[in-house]
């Protein structure tokens, strides 16, 4: 069963005993306590899969062969169990539930489906096996990381680090692992390469939970057949015209709505027996029913988000639906969102153990001690109501204009989650890979939050750009981590209310200085210079390239103090202001140009483009310093006018040219007012 005992039993003691070191664990030296797979660049072992292996298990075996060949130059042969050729070499690696592996009973009872065992089988064989093909695949990934030293640092070919060695010998030891969070999912990944990278780092979403009631009760059908299923709002029945209309919830107390939900969900599982979960997530954007029956089930008052608390009515309905479905389809699970009006745990209803509520919150906000205390209290409250809870986080990379990293806070929150009933994790990620190790760290900690985040980071920096360049890269990210966890909390951008921070607002850029941007560039240029291998150089250049968007955004953003700055005291200062305005305008243009150029890039593409958000589009950014020279233009300064005229006459379109033309127009003797009565002193001329 896909979720099996991980729901009720996460083997904390097992992880304490088997917690991985973040430092690379490479092949053991050849000896009597090792199994030699490659020696002198020649294969000494065959890879064996079950005769009836499924496609995923075969793909896992091929993954093992491919990376061992990249590491050693030796291609291990692949055979089905029972083939004569399988015993032609001295050693074998069994991948998946081969007969010999099954007979050895390597898998512990109740192991999570994503878990695995790597263990010796006799003197000349090794097994990599999980309860499911997913577990076997993750076992292969662990084998490659642990013994071949492979790291999937970032997406794409340049993101892989595969050390070279002529020999590969594996210690005769038993490794057992299973994830702390049994469902681990990041959204917003772009393209197959990013999805493959996440999968190599053991991402596997296993619970459906998102906004879904609009599909359980599609308006196209039910507004005609069961209008009573739709909410009363402002005294009237609200009937959405179709499924494109959001902002409504069903009437959870309507007659027959429980039975209809059970019928629909049973039909889904009848047609999709392999599916293990169904989403009961409320629709997006509120719109709950205001009928007397629904209101009578509410505790009264607002929840901690300041929204009307309707959790009791919703979870009472959900419990009844789940109990009905489980009579026909036992063992299924039901994800949902603890969101908006249902963000707080119900006060009179205990959740069915097969319901998994996802608590929605941007836990970077937990850098604020008061917000963290409230969030921890709410998590513990939910755990008292529901044996299994999920976290829904907002760890956006794009469309932020700086690397939004908070590694220590992330690790602390994941450890708290593990200790307080959180067993599944989802995050809206939409990565900007200029954030370097952020998502790598997140996925590693979702598997095992006891890992030392400092060791993970140190290893990532060294493997990404080499030991000589790593300290500079570490200092770069440490600077921005401090910005987000200390300075940003005091900025006008930071909000104490709401479930997530304003990713569509650039207000935090007002607190960024040109000097720290220059220092960041200096550090990353040093990283490029100190990186040694071609792969390290490629990764270093990619991070510098990604930084150029951050740099352009910070330098182009119109600071609040620009308008109140001291006017230029001389023509020289006025000309300098024009020069600064030109640079600002170029940065404003460059940031949008970079985002457009990267749209098809494997790694650099922004899943959430700045042009999608009015406040981030930056069409009015850049050139503010230009206007500091306006008084000198109005006084008739010839050098200032000539400089602005050159800008205005430039053949290529530019923000600086547009602003220069506007300034010149304002002092032109030929300009005409927009209104013939600009002061409105002459009354109505009609």
Is residue 676's pLDDT more than 60?
A: no
Cβ neighbours of residue 124 closer than 8 Å, sequence gap 6 or more = 35, 90, 91, 92
CB 198 within 8 A of CB 138: no
Burial degree of 146 (CB within 10 A; 0-12, 13-18, 19+):
buried
C-alpha dihedral, 659 to 661 to 665 to 669, nearest 10°: 140
Check: CB of residue 158 under 8 Å from CB of residue 535: yes
Contact 541, 606 (CB under 8 A): no
Q: Are strands 151-152 and 125-129 parallel, antiparallel or unpaired?
A: unpaired
pLDDT digits (tens, 9 = 90+) for 168-184: 999 999 999 999 999 99
pLDDT at 87 over 80: no
pLDDT for position 670: 75
- Placement of tokens 């050098």 in the chain: 639
Strand order in the sheet with 422-428: 183-187, 422-428, 389-394, 355-360, 333-338, 277-279
Helix (H) or strand (E) holding 152: strand 151-152
Q: What b/e readout covers 80-114, taking b as 16+ CB neighbours within 10 angstroms?
A: ebeeeebeebebbbbbbbbeebeebebbeeebbbb
The full set of domains in the chain, from first to last, is 4-178 (3.30.379.10), 558-686 (no CATH)
Place 1 in a pLDDT band, splitting at 50, 70 and 90: very low
Partners of 390 in the β-ladder: 358, 424
Residue 31 has pLDDT above 90, yes or no: no
What are 417-442's pLDDT values in tens digits? Answer: 999 999 999 999 999 999 999 999 99
Per-residue pLDDT at 671: 64
pLDDT value, residue 567: 86
CA-nearest of 204, 111, 189, 180 to 156 is 189
Cβ pair 68, 38 in contact under 8 A: yes
Residues above pLDDT 70, as percent of the chain: 92
Residue 403: name the closest of 474, 454, 498, 499 by CA: 474
Identify the pLDDT of residue 21: 36
Cβ 364 vs Cβ 501: under 8 Å? yes
pLDDT at 29: 57
In this predicted structure, the answer to whether residue 482 has a pLDDT above a threshold of 50 is: yes
Distance CA 351, CA 355 (A): 7
Q: Assess whether pLDDT exceeds 70 at residue 686.
A: no
Kind plus residue range of the DSSP H or E element containing 444: helix 438-447
Residue 399, preceding bond cis, omega within 30 degrees? yes
Please check the confidence at residue 22 and state whether its pLDDT lies above 50: no
Task: For residue 565, name the pLDDT band (cuts at 50, 70, 90).
Answer: low
Beta bridge partners of 393: 427
pLDDT of residue 682: 52
Q: Indicate the pLDDT class of residue 566, thresholds 50, 70 and 90.
A: confident
Helix (H) or strand (E) holding 285: none
Contact 435, 484 (CB under 8 A): no
Q: What's the rounded mean pLDDT across residues 568-574?
A: 93
């Amino acid at each position: 069963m896909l979720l099996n005992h991980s729901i009720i039993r996460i083997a904390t003691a097992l992880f304490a005993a088997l917690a991985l070191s973040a430092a690379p664990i490479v092949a053991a030296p050849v000896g009597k306590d090792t199994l030699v797979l490659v020696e002198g660049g020649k294969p000494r072992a065959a890879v064996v899969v079950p005769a009836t292996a499924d496609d995923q298990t075969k793909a896992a075996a091929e993954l093992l062969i491919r990376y061992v060949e990249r590491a050693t130059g030796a291609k291990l042969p692949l055979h089905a169990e029972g083939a004569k050729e399988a015993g032609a070499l001295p050693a074998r690696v069994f991948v998946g539930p081969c007969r010999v592996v099954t007979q050895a009973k390597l898998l512990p009872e109740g192991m999570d489906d994503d878990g695995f065992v790597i263990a010796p089988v006799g003197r000349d064989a090794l097994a990599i096996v999980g309860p499911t093909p997913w577990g076997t695949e993750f076992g292969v990934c662990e084998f490659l990381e642990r013994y071949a030293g492979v790291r999937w640092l970032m997406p794409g070919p340049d993101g892989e680090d595969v050390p070279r060695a002529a020999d590969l010998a594996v210690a005769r030891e038993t490794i057992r692992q299973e994830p702390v969070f049994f469902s681990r999912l990041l959204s917003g990944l772009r393209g197959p390469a990013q999805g493959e990278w996440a999968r190599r780092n053991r991402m596997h979403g296993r619970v459906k939970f998102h906004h879904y009631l609009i599909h359980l009760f599609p308006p196209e059908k039910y507004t005609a057949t069961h209008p009573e299923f739709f909410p009363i709002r402002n005294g009237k029945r609200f009937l959405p015209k179709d499924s494109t209309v959001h902002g409504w919830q069903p009437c959870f107390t309507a007659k027959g709505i429980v039975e209809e939900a059970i019928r629909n969900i049973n039909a889904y599982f009848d047609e999709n027996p392999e599916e293990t979960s169904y989403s009961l997530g409320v629709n997006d954007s509120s719109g709950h029913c205001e009928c007397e029956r629904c209101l009578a089930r509410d505790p009264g008052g607002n929840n901690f988000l300041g929204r009307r608390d309707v959790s009791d009515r919703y979870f009472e309905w959900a419990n009844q639906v789940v109990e009905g479905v489980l009579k026909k389809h036992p063992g299924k699970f039901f994800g949902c969102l603890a969101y908006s009006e249902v963000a707080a745990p119900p006060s009179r209803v205990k959740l069915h153990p097969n319901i998994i509520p996802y608590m929605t919150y941007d836990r970077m906000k937990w850098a604020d001690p008061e917000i963290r205390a409230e969030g921890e209290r709410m998590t513990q409250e939910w755990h008292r109501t529901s044996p299994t809870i999920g976290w829904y986080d907002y760890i956006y990379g794009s469309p932020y204009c700086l690397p939004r990293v908070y590694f220590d806070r992330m690790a602390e929150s994941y450890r708290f989650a593990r200790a307080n009933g959180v067993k599944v994790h989802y995050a809206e990620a939409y990565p900007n890979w200029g954030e370097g190790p952020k998502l790598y760290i997140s996925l590693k900690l979702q598997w095992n939050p006891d890992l030392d985040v400092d060791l993970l980071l140190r290893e990532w920096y060294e493997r990404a750009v080499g030991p000589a360049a790593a300290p500079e890269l570490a200092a770069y990210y440490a600077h921005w981590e401090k910005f987000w966890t200390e300075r940003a909390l005091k900025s006008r951008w930071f909000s104490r209310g709401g479930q997530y921070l304003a990713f569509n607002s650039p207000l935090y850029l007002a607190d960024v200085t040109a000097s720290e941007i220059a220092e960041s560039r200096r550090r990353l240029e040093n990283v490029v210079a100190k990186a040694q291998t071609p792969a390290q150089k490629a990764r270093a250049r990619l991070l510098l390239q990604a930084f150029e968007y951050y740099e352009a955004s910070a330098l182009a953003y119109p600071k609040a103090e620009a308008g109140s700055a001291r006017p230029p005291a001389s023509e020289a200062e006025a000309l300098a202001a024009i020069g600064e305005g030109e640079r600002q305008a170029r940065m404003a243009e460059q940031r949008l140009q970079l985002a457009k150029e990267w749209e098809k890039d494997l790694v650099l593409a922004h899943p959430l483009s700045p042009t999608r958000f009015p406040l981030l589009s930056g069409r009015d950014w850049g050139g503010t310093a230009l206007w500091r020279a306006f008084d000198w233009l109005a006084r008739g300064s010839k050098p200032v006018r000539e400089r602005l005229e050159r800008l205005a006459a430039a053949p290529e379109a530019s923000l600086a040219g547009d602003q220069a033309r506007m300034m010149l127009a304002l002092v032109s003797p030929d300009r005409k007012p927009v209104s013939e009565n600009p002061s409105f002193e002459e009354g109505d001329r009609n």
